[in-house]
Structure 1
Amino acid sequence: MADIPIYKTLEEKSKLFEKNDFFVIDTKAQLDYWFEFYSSNFKKEHSVDFIFRGMSDAKYKLFTSAQRFWITDNMEQWKPNYEYKDFIEDLVSKAKANPLLRKIFDLYGYSNSERDFPLLSLLQHYGAPSPVLDWSYNINCAAFFAIDGVKRNLSAGNSIENYVSVYSIHKKKLHQKKELLSLLDIAGEIYPSITEFKNFGDEGNPNSNSLFILSDFETTTQIDYRGPLRVKTTKPVTSLYNQNIIPQEGLLMYNPFKDRPIENLFNVKMYSHGQNLHLEPFKCFNIHKDLSEYLRRLISTKHKIKKSLIYPHLYDDSKEIKEAVMNGIIR
């Protein structure tokens, strides 16, 4: 098995991200200031302008699950001339053949090609590898993922081993420059098949950085959407039959490359040819694991973000509703 590249130090990691005052958060005072600015006030003013991602280990690079499978299992050696994009096509093809998923998309009238990207959303959220990475419009959801299940390494001190990370991309600014587009911007109103994106992303060009987002909460980059999130398409690409995407206020980022993490795509030398985007480094906030329990209680008490919301089980919610009714009757 091959090792997935990681960051060895916070100093090494800092070279790939935008400089900011909160790159390292070591104290409660620093965390309170960061939380008040980004989590409380910022969200109210910029409901969908920014996107966020949380990671429970700061040392990990932003690889998709499909990339991790491809790299760690040396899948390039499994079959002659078998490429990473063949692997992605096979995942979608097998998902299409699943009787339950086929019945769902038949019921909602999705054509054969319209199923491909919605299937990637389901694969991503229910345990199968996919070439997309989860992001959220809500920094509190990202913070939850950063601290969920975190265990401090007592021997690591202030090394990178003892930090979680929250990432922030100014999506609106990039949209206005037409540098971070959605699937609808690229393909129009009809969702394309995954095979139509076989050549999307030039593996042979080290400075190619093609990517796009999948979201049901936006249409095109020309629309400055304000107000609470709502689905803005008649044929959802991420939220159809997916309980997770709505409470997580989620969207997905499609990375076509076999071994380039997302942050590398925001740090390329621009050429005048090829599939190149002008993507500048984005922000990263590294929070010491000593503060994880305090942060968990902050987002839970102030914003009601907790595991039962992020990972919904409607059986549990239905039981709570029944119990509330029964308890109300006897009062």
Structure 2
Amino acid sequence: MAKLETYNTLKDKDEAFEQINIDSKEQLDIYIEKYKKEQSKYGLVFRGCPDSKYKLYNSSQRKWLNIELHKLGRTYDEFIEIEINNAKNWQNGLLEKFFNAFGQPPFDISILSFLQHYGAPTPLLDWTYSFENALFFATDGLKSADSDNDIDNYCSIYIINTKWQELTNYLVYVQSGLDQIDKILDKHPKVNSDNVIENLQNFNYNTLHQIKIAQIPGYKRNGFAFSLRNRPSFNLVWNQQNLNIINQKGLFVFNSSENKPLEFFFKGDKTKVEGSPYYLPKIICLNIHKSLYEYIKLKLTKGKRFPINKDFIYPQEEMIANKSFQHFLNFDF
């Protein structure tokens, strides 16, 4: 079994990230206030990790590399595509029927979101629009390290800006493709564009894979609607159907590479990665000392109507049902 590369020291991470170390409550308070104000204004998104040494690999990369799945005679792309199709077809198309019950086809990205939610390996990496939620993820399962190595004593929050022009929004990409079709049909009404429309309309994994790196927005009330001016009957709506992603204020960042972590493509200084079409700034990394764990836990729960804890971040169907009954029993108290 192969072993994924990690960062040996915080200094090692300097080449990959724009790093800031936080070692006191006062420093932490400053950054909490800063990013609570800036998160929506600047389109910032966050990812919390309980150990600073890990690179930003997604779960399908970790499985592919750790278990050396290439030895099964399939390519990485085939691995993802087969997994999607297996999920769609399982138990006589149960998942397809589940999505249809909500009035939506089982789009490939919807299947990937479902698989991600239930722990299957996917090329998606979880991020959140909420800095406080990222703080929860940075301390969830955190273990203090008995180590002289500085990196073992920190958890991390990673920050990217979804408004960076080079960071493709997959849904904007789909609508842009539909807009291009409209322009072509304006000039050439008899052109047959059915195949192209079908690929975009199905949110096909192959289309996503061609983008290389993309953000997939989270839940939106009433979903994301798409239109075709030349096809008034065209009706396409997509949304995240995932309990966790709603409370988590989550979104995904897709990475098509089988072996390069996400930060590999964010070089900064207008540097373009070989084989990538993007010029992306370095990802910001806040390294937070693990001694602040109890203080963070207090900041996320004290005085909040909805404390940011496991019940809030990981809502389960059974929990909703159980709490509904418990609330009835305790109603008069």
The TM-score bracket by the shorter chain reads: 0.7 to 0.9
1:118 to 99, 106, 110: 110
CA distance in 2, matches of 1:94, 1:186: 27
Give the equivalent residue in structure 1 for 2:315: 312
- Whether 2:127 is the aligned partner of 1:135: answer yes
- What does residue 181 of structure 1 align with? 168
The Cα shift of 1:30 comes to: 1.8
In structure 1, distance between residues paired with 2:296 and 2:222: 30
In structure 1, which of residues 83, 87, 93 is the aligned counterpart of residue 79 of structure 2? 87
Paired residue secondary structure (2:48): strand
| Preserved contact between residue 47 and residue 137 of structure 1 (Cα < 8 Å) | no
2:51–2:155 CA contact under 8 A, matched in 1: yes
Aligned-residue identity in percent: 34
- Give matches, 1:160-309, under 5 Å: 160-172=151-163, 174=164, 177=165, 179-188=166-175, 190-197=201-208, 200=210, 210-217=212-219, 230-234=221-225, 237=238, 239-240=240-241, 242-267=242-267, 269-270=271-272, 275-301=276-302, 304-309=307-312
Gap regions ≥5 residues in structure 2: 179-200, 226-235
Letter in 1 for 2:224: T
Secondary structure of the corresponding residue to residue 93 of structure 1:
helix
Larger of the two Rg values belongs to structure: 2
Code of the residue aligned with 2:132 in structure 1: it is N
Aligned to 1:42: 38
CA distance in 2, matches of 1:48, 1:308: 29
1:260-286 per-position Cα deviation (integer Å, ceiling 9, x unaligned): 111111117427x96411211021001
Distance in structure 1 (CA, Å) of the matches to 2:115 and 2:239 = 11
Name the aligned partner's letter for residue 284 of structure 2. Answer: K
Match of 1:55 among 49, 59, 62: 49
Aligned partner letter, 1:300: T
Alignment match of 2:21 (pick from 14, 21, 24)? 24
Give, in whole Å, the separation in 1 of the partners of 2:60 and 2:6.
17
Measured in 2, the distance between the counterparts of 1:124 and 1:296 equals: 26
C-alpha distance in structure 2 between counterparts of 1:58 and 1:316, whole Å: 32
User: Which runs of 4 or more aligned residues in structure 1 lie more than 6 Å from their structure 2 counterparts after TM superposition?
Assistant: none
- Deviation of residue 248 (structure 1)? 0.4
Deviations 1:295-318 (A, max 9, x none): 121112255211101000243344
Equivalent residue of 2:65, what SS?
A: helix
3-state DSSP class of the match of 1:328? coil
Note the residue ranges of structure 1 that are not aligned, 5 or more in a row: 202-209, 218-228
User: Greater share of helix residues, 1 or 2?
Assistant: 2
- Please tell me whether the aligned partners of residues 87 and 95 of structure 2 are also in contact (alpha carbons under 8 angstroms): yes
Contact 2:265–2:276 (CA<8 Å) still a contact in 1?
A: no
What's the offset of the Cα at 1:125? 1.1
SS at match of 1:53: strand
Question: Aligned to 1:285, what secondary structure does the other structure show?
Answer: strand
Higher share of residues assigned strand? 2
SS of equivalent to 2:256: coil
**Counterpart code for 2:299:** L
Cα distance in 1 between the residues matched to 2:323 and 2:151: 41
Residues 216 and 233 in structure 1, CA contact (< 8 A), matched pair in contact too: no
Cα deviation 1:160-208 (Å, max 9, x = unaligned): 1111100111222x0xx3x11222222236243113455x26xxxxxxx
1-structure distance, mates of 2:69, 2:328:
54
Write the deviation string for residues 32-75 of structure 1: whole angstroms up to 9, x where unpaired: 22223224x334xx267111000111000000000000001111
